[in-house]
Amino acid sequence: MKTYADKINTVLKPAISSMPLVLDLFAGCGGLALGFEAQGFPTLGFEMDADCCATYKHNLVGDCLQVKLDANYAFPKAQVVIGGPPCQPFSVGGHQNGLHDARDGFPAFISAVKQVKPDIWMFENVRGLMYKNKDYLDLVISELESLGYVVEFKLMNAVNHLVPQNRERVIVVGHRGEFHYPSVISQKVTAGQALEKVPVESTADSKYLTASMDAYVAKYEKASNCITPRDLHLDRPSRTVTCRNLAGATGDMHRLVLEDGRRRRLTVREGARLQSFPDWFDFKGSETSAFNQVGNAVPPMLAFAIANCFKDYLQSTVRLNSSEIRKRQQPRQLDLLVA
């Protein structure tokens, strides 16, 4: 029987074909790009972090330019634009500067869409953008709709797309009509299925919780009225993987309970597996940098599902355009009667 590792190691392999170029803005380590490259799209990443760029270049076919994007950056032409623009947690109703905030990535993303005029584009962001910062999301969507796109957004949970983790993100897509989001997959992958025998193994980078850390965790869970311990439960999908709960020695950190009762922090490789990264995907930089890359990434299996919908959309658009051309080339019925 094929294991989860077998599946992601086989499915998530770059397989560049004749699909159009994808510009991947705020690309991180390439989780989103990996899903697109596995569906045949060539990619070009834009990312300011040096370790992320190194990881992207090492694992993917596409290049990654180390650059800090802003609204004045000149982008190359492409039919597809994707990315995860950083968004400052504020409402436009407050005293902040909205799209004029220098820390915000959306002006650069909107500028790219204006310049490139792609057939289809998308960005992903945290679920709070739909709720706490809904005013700001409305402003961004209004700007993008003014460019002539049909803009839709949907809260998607990665667990519904063969990712062993409950991870909700808002996925915003701009298109010319007839785009369909990925269908939900009823099968759910548990953390135990994803990690297999890894939880009972110890490696050189295994870090165990000390007695004082165990006491701190117990105090944290009691203070927060935690009913279910924050340990990794192997019989269900993981809770959301983040930079903080992977690398940080906090009460909320991900940790495994071993058969002898000891608890240890997840390794980079284990965090990557919960994010659906294949085992061959190598993270460059320090351990802390690798944890940050894993925690910030779009799960590649979620990206793979979205990229498949992009492929269907672009191919159906080509078919529709070809049909329209044939119609225009055929003599009208009135012309035939006159002849």
- Say whether both 42 and 117 belong to one domain: yes
Give the pLDDT confidence of 4-60 residue by residue, as tens digits.
999 999 999 999 898 999 999 999 999 999 999 999 999 999 999 999 999 999 999
Determine, yes or no, domain membership for 276.
no
Q: How many CB atoms lie within 10 A of CB 333?
A: 8
**Residue 154 near residue 171, CB atoms below 8 Å:** yes
- Say whether both 183 and 195 belong to one domain: no
| CATH number (domain holding residue 9) | 3.40.50.150
- Say whether both 128 and 45 belong to one domain: yes
Q: How many domains does the chain have?
A: 2
Determine the pLDDT at residue 198.
61
Determine, yes or no, domain membership for 262.
yes
Determine, yes or no, domain membership for 28.
yes
Q: Which residues are catalytic?
A: 87
- Say whether both 80 and 223 belong to one domain: no
CA 311 to the chain's CA centroid: 17
- Say whether both 96 and 212 belong to one domain: no
Determine, yes or no, domain membership for 112.
yes
Is the pTM of the predicted complex or chain greater than 0.85?
A: yes
- Say whether both 134 and 33 belong to one domain: yes
- Name the residue range of residue 198's domain: 191-266
Residue 133 φ/ψ, nearest 5 degrees? -115, 35
Determine, yes or no, domain membership for 223.
yes
- Say whether both 152 and 11 belong to one domain: yes
- Say whether both 164 and 199 belong to one domain: no
Q: What SS3 class is residue 173?
A: strand
Determine, yes or no, domain membership for 338.
no
Region 224-245 average pLDDT: 87
Report the distance separating Cα 141 and Cα 88, nearest Å: 16
Report the distance separating Cα 93 and Cα 104, nearest Å: 16
215 pLDDT band, cuts 50/70/90, is confident
Residue in the block written with tokens 């979620």: 302
What string of H, E and C letters represents the secondary structure of 39-60? Answer: CCCCEEEEECCHHHHHHHHHHC
